[in-house]
Amino acid sequence: MKFQFILISLFAICIISCKETVNDISHKEQNFDYMMVPQGFPPVASPVDNPTTNDKAELGKRLFYDQILSKNRTLSCESCHRRSTAFCSTGDQISIGFNSELTERNVLSLINVSYTTNYTWDGHGSKLEDMIYNDFTFPLFFDNDTNVITDRLNADSLYVSQFKKAFGDKPKPYLAANAMASFLRTIISGNSPFDKYRNGDKSALNAQEIRGMNLFFSDKVNCAKCHTGLHFTDYKYHNTATSTHYFDKGRWFVTNDDKDRGKFRTSTLRNVALTYPYFHDGVYRTLEQVVDNYNKGGNLFINRDTLMRPLNLTFYEKADLVAFLKSLTDSVFMKDARFDKPIYK
């Protein structure tokens, strides 16, 4: 069985090159007034077959929040990727899908998805538009029929007008997926206190946060070996030994390589204080629990990453690390009305 999921940095010496931003896909950069790229971030690239425009993003935002796409009109994308939790989980250990069916994994954040092409815990998807389109009919998500979606969208005069403006065409499911992908590419976060400190405001972090930052990037804990770059992720797959069970084989479902058993994609740490529960199985609800897992070197598990080892951190060092992680919360992004649910009168 193959899991299906949409989804879903400091000084120059700490910021690893963002070569992962487009992952060798054909692209062209867009000047786009809906998109605001934080200081120090590279321009966002969009696929040549779906260049980002303001009209597409506005349409995609409405579709993202609309329950019209689900079979019984009870779910939207935001049902799992909550605006209030930085487009991540709802607080449930694993997400709840169509007809209240449990999915197999926790929800990944949609923040900064424009800078990568592997979007899921096991990396089975590589094109954002395709991932979204497949969710329309996938039983655990919208469980709908594309013909039904076509009829519903064409029966809505505002949607007809928006599709015409964005694509010059009538509403179609694949165009809906393109519009939603365009919206997701605008969800960019990079204005946290840490970013302000990195960009020269030395008052942005307090003494404890600075101690935690120095520890985070040190060889003692090696957090930045995986949580690297502007996005605090290498977009690679690791087994961080959070569990003792073996039923979810992670990356193995894609590669069928036993070396990938139990490996999952490194998640971003941006806004991590808001995106609990943590890890693919949502096993931990607090950052303190996450730090404790790394401090003890994880659980005994086949393929446990070689970076996982006891750290022997003191109580105060662990508290410093948690303080630094909380400094990655971007209040500017969280208050940005551009991402709020649209209201149509």
Per-residue model confidence as pLDDT tens digits over 199-227? 999 999 999 999 999 999 999 999 999 99
Q: Which CATH class is domain 19-188?
A: mainly alpha
Angle at which helices 287-295 and 315-326 cross, to 10°: 130
Write the CA distances from 139 to 4, 88, 126, 143, integer angstroms.
Answer: 10, 21, 20, 4
Share of residues in the chain with pLDDT > 70 (%): 87
Q: Could you tell me the pLDDT band of residue 5, with boundaries at 50, 70 and 90?
A: very low
- Contacts of residue 169, Cβ cutoff 8 Å, sequence gap at least 6: 163, 175
Measured distance CA(292)–CA(281) in Å, rounded: 17
For the chain, the structural domain boundaries read 19-188, 193-331
Most confident of 49-53, 139-143, 246-250: 49-53
Judged against a pLDDT cut of 50, whether residue 9 lies above it is answered with: no
**Shared fold status for 19-188 and 193-331:** yes
Per-residue model confidence as pLDDT tens digits over 290-342? 999 999 999 888 889 999 999 999 999 999 999 999 999 999 999 999 999 98
Of 255, 253, 252, give the one whose Cα is nearest residue 303: 252
Place of tokens 């690390």: 321
Q: pLDDT value at position 139?
A: 86
Q: pLDDT value at position 7?
A: 37
Judged against a pLDDT cut of 90, whether residue 154 lies above it is answered with: yes
Fold adopted by 193-331? Cytochrome Bc1 Complex; Chain D, domain 2 (1.10.760)
Measured distance CA(301)–CA(289) in Å, rounded: 18
Q: How many CB atoms lie within 10 A of CB 55?
A: 17
Write the CA distances from 308 to 12, 179, 246, 324, integer angstroms.
Answer: 26, 41, 18, 20
- Per the CB < 8 A criterion, the answer to whether 313 and 321 are in contact is yes
